[in-house]
Structure 1
């Protein structure tokens, strides 16, 4: 099972390891696109007004550009420690036991505008790049990533649980993936706490003793963890929030 998480705009600062080494990341087939994007971000960061405009940042967020400028030299952190925010708070990776961390690092992956997809233990620097960005001379990220990412994700695992948000789902289509929509007991889509519930689901799937290999197994694993999943299609599930 591979649970594919969305990234977060916010990233933990610093790191405790050597700088970015693209050759050490999972899915090495993506290295050429990763290198092209990293080099483009470093170059863009040298032109502050253009970088702010292209990345959709305000002048008060200029410090984000410093992260991009030092992509090749900044210390790295495992992906599951680098990304922060509501979903990752709910995931609670920092509180996992050693055994749980090992399971999570194998089962969880993060969609990334810069790296395409990284597994939980892949070490990456802090950066700023959103899925809907169009970079000068390179064009849209969707145009760059789809040809490279889709063949890899098609064969990444027999059971893929796709928890990505819209902008990142657009970077690669995964027709055989299981999708999850968060709804209330009356069927209304949940927006405000959507990320938190997906983070809790990811935590349950990452740490369950019996790794599911089917949709029914996925539903059972979630139920054992106190999460109700309702099947609405062959590959479509709804996470029903408590009343």
Structure 2
């Protein structure tokens, strides 16, 4: 049986910013997808919430300023704060373009099945996984545990390797480093000027990846091949080219 019932798995990067609040019950790891990740999730949630008891140390470890002390307060309440579905928790440029709230019920059901967020705290968060707001970056580390890459790779890679569907990897570098995905379709965004010269798009690539994720989530016919991904993107008004067997680029005007 497929590990991802949608038939295609689109791996999204998370965002540093999270929507506040929620109307769900406090975090229940047993209610999340991929229970094989729960031991690591519990270890990280405990470590992060304990760290929050030392505000100066938390600010240092998280790489944030005193003006963001509310992020530490969120971490202190990981086990007790309200939750909300993962696709509604993350905010920012990519998630604005994904615009999950505008989907029709049938499209939202597809999005929940096809999209998953790479999370420094939860490993993978499926669309229906209810999670609290938190602050933890994929490239960071936690006292006593080491780098998140060393924590997640041994347990997360087997889960992703078990996905026998088409995997479209939209993760950013720090989150891609948490686990390799053999055979995944990699996507990058390039800008092209009037002379045809191209360069890699950095921050604004998130918007175009969000549009691609939305197109794949909403596609009526299940994308099953790389060519299907290109076709779905083209129908959504994106210019996508195949650079290699498993590498695509979204080309935008400079």
TM-score past 0.5 threshold: yes
Instruction: Find 1:207's aligned residue among 218, 238, 250.
Output: 218
When structure 1 is superposed on structure 2, of 76-85 and 213-222 the one drifting more is: 213-222
Paired with 1:191 and 1:129, the residues of 2 have a C-alpha distance of 21
Instruction: Find 1:66's aligned residue among 73, 87, 101.
Output: 73
Paired with 1:241 and 1:120, the residues of 2 have a C-alpha distance of 28
> 1:151 aligned to 2:158?
yes
Report how many residues are paired: 243
Instruction: Find 1:98's aligned residue among 84, 87, 105.
Output: 105
What do residues 197-216 of structure 1 show as CA deviations (whole Å, max 9, x unaligned)?
Answer: 00011000000101111101
When structure 1 is superposed on structure 2, of 75-84 and 174-183 the one drifting more is: 174-183
Paired with 1:105 and 1:96, the residues of 2 have a C-alpha distance of 11
Deviation at 1:124, TM superposition (A): 0.2
| C-alpha contact (below 8 Å) 1:76/1:123 kept by paired residues | yes
Instruction: Find 1:41's aligned residue among 44, 48, 51.
Output: 48
> 1:184 aligned to 2:184?
no
> 1:132 aligned to 2:111?
no
Deviation at 1:118, TM superposition (A): 0.9
Corresponding residue for residue 224 of structure 1: 235
> 1:11 aligned to 2:18?
yes
Paired with 1:70 and 1:193, the residues of 2 have a C-alpha distance of 32
Paired with 1:126 and 1:23, the residues of 2 have a C-alpha distance of 18
- Residue 108 of structure 2 aligns to a residue whose secondary structure is helix
> 1:171 aligned to 2:182?
no
Q: Where does structure 1 differ by over 6 angstroms across 4 or more consecutive aligned residues?
A: none
Instruction: Find 1:197's aligned residue among 196, 208, 214.
Output: 208
Structure 1 unaligned runs (5+)?
none
- Residue 232 of structure 1 aligns to a residue whose secondary structure is strand
Corresponding residue for residue 82 of structure 2: 75
TM-score, normalised with respect to structure 2: 0.94
Paired with 1:228 and 1:209, the residues of 2 have a C-alpha distance of 20
Structure 2 unaligned runs (5+)?
1-7
| C-alpha contact (below 8 Å) 1:154/1:176 kept by paired residues | no
TM-score, normalised with respect to structure 1: 0.98
